[in-house]
Amino acid sequence: MNDIERMNSLGKKKVPFLFVLDYELKQPHIIPLDQVDSNKILYSINGVTNAANPGMPAKQLDFNFKPVDFKRYKKAFNLVQQHILHGNSFLLNLTMPSEVECNYSLKEIYGASQAKYKIWFKDQFVVYSPEIFIQTKGRKISSFPMKGTIDANFPDAKKTLLSSNKEVAEHHTIVDLIRNDLSMVAKNVRVARFQYIDHIKTNKCELLQMSSEISGELPADYNEHLGDIMFTLLPAGSISGAPKAKTLDIIREAEQYERGYFTGIFGIFDGENIDSGVMIRFIEKTSTGLIYKSGGGITSQSDCEQEYQELINKIYVPVA
């Protein structure tokens, strides 16, 4: 039984399960909730968790990082701009790995961080994501793409974000992409909320991020097709781009590294509904140390230095 069939089967039987799906769907994990070992996996999905939160360590967080070299980023950025100039992509999510040093373990980071979607996975990586992928409530399916970021301390930050031609164009593009994606699995797809602002507190500053809500209506037997629905929608539009197929090829050419589980998705099916998040704000343990993967959307109006700064702004731990 393949991964799609496994999700379909569990959904049909209404068996609650956890899913952790990597960006390229090479190593998906689909685990019935009663089989999730809390010694290896901890999750908190909008407050639904498999174990008590480990809590804040007694020691103060010491978090330092060395961002990816600007020359490497600029080379990738210029390549992306060439493809955009030739009409091969209109929006591309460009990401890079940065080196991190931290006095917290990955499990301690999980406990200390405050986010809607958190997972500590086999001490391989930790995620504390603010971004919803999809949620279902009965036959209603909703997605909440997050595109557009600014430091909240910037003068008139909210107004600046909402009036930025680049950020607004990027957001319009991703809303159109998600609307098209949802239309492949649902009917009566519409934009329920447009360009609302989330406040995110970090160990460095407070960020404002722009999101929208797109909703549609699933078929009556959708629980029997959870795998088909999920795999049709992947990879998430907000971390790939438009048009999706060609943009994925450009991402591989430009980034020159393995995303792995970064920008994949994780969530739970509780027997009735799905709640899931995008695996951004991601720290991975490697043989050479901790790696933080981050990035942002590139359009024809993007400025290389500003996009590089956004990549840096997203390297944080959301602690109070």
Whole-model pTM above 0.85?
yes
Say if 319 falls within a structural domain: no
SS3 state of residue 35: helix
What does the pLDDT read at residue 56?
84
What does the pLDDT read at residue 320?
66
Q: Answer yes or no: are the C-beta atoms of 295 and 147 closer than 8 Å.
A: no
Say if 247 falls within a structural domain: yes
Average pLDDT, integer, range 195-216 = 79
What does the pLDDT read at residue 215?
97
Half-sphere exposure of 190 (CA within 13 A, CB side): 5
Q: Which of 34-38, 85-89, 118-122, 207-211 has the lowest mean pLDDT?
A: 207-211
The better pLDDT of the pair 199, 91 is held by 91
What does the pLDDT read at residue 25?
96
How many domains does the structure of the chain reveal?
1
Looking at every residue in the chain, the average pLDDT score rounds to 92
Phi and psi at residue 193, in whole multiples of 5°?
-140, 140
What does the pLDDT read at residue 39?
96
The CATH number of the domain holding residue 144 is 3.60.120.10
Q: Answer yes or no: are the C-beta atoms of 45 and 18 closer than 8 Å.
A: no
Say if 97 falls within a structural domain: yes
Residue 306 structure tokens: 């500003």
Residue 79 structure tokens: 């390549």
pLDDT above 90 for 55: no
pLDDT above 80 for 147: no
Average pLDDT, integer, range 122-138 = 95
Say if 224 falls within a structural domain: yes
Query: What distances in angstroms separate CA 33 from CA 20, 39, 271, one per listed residue?
Result: 12, 14, 10
Q: Answer yes or no: are the C-beta atoms of 269 and 226 closer than 8 Å.
A: yes
Average pLDDT, integer, range 19-38 = 97
In the block, tokens 């078929």 appear at 219
What does the pLDDT read at residue 198?
74
Of how many residues is the chain composed? 320
SS3 state of residue 283: strand
With the CA atoms of 222, 228, 232 and 238 taken in that order, what torsion angle do they form, in degrees rounded to the nearest 10? 60
pLDDT confidence tier of residue 203, bands split at 50, 70 and 90: low
pLDDT above 80 for 98: yes
The better pLDDT of the pair 137, 150 is held by 137
Cα distance between residue 222 and residue 178, in whole Å? 19
Q: Which of 137-141, 152-156, 260-264 has the lowest mean pLDDT?
A: 152-156
pLDDT confidence tier of residue 202, bands split at 50, 70 and 90: low
pLDDT above 90 for 173: no
pLDDT above 80 for 166: no
pLDDT above 90 for 319: no
- Please report, as a single letter, which amino acid is at residue 261: Y
pLDDT confidence tier of residue 219, bands split at 50, 70 and 90: very high
- Please report, as a single letter, which amino acid is at residue 86: H
Average pLDDT, integer, range 270-288 = 96
What does the pLDDT read at residue 172?
81
**Host domain of residue 199:** 3-56+66-313
Q: Which of 146-160, 203-217, 268-282 has the lowest mean pLDDT?
A: 146-160
What does the pLDDT read at residue 46?
92
Residue 50 structure tokens: 């498999």
**Percent over 70 (pLDDT), the chain:** 97
Contacts of range 269-272, beta carbons closer than 8 Å, 24 or more positions apart: 269/7, 269/10, 269/11, 269/16, 269/17, 269/19, 269/226, 270/16, 270/48, 271/14, 271/15, 271/16, 272/14, 272/223
Average pLDDT, integer, range 57-66 = 94
Cα distance between residue 233 and residue 216, in whole Å? 13
Say if 105 falls within a structural domain: yes
Cα distance between residue 10 and residue 269, in whole Å? 9
Say if 167 falls within a structural domain: yes
- Please report, as a single letter, which amino acid is at residue 292: Y
pLDDT confidence tier of residue 116, bands split at 50, 70 and 90: very high
Say if 286 falls within a structural domain: yes
Say if 318 falls within a structural domain: no
What does the pLDDT read at residue 204?
64
3-state helix, strand and coil shares in percent for the chain, rounded to the nearest 5? 30, 35, 35
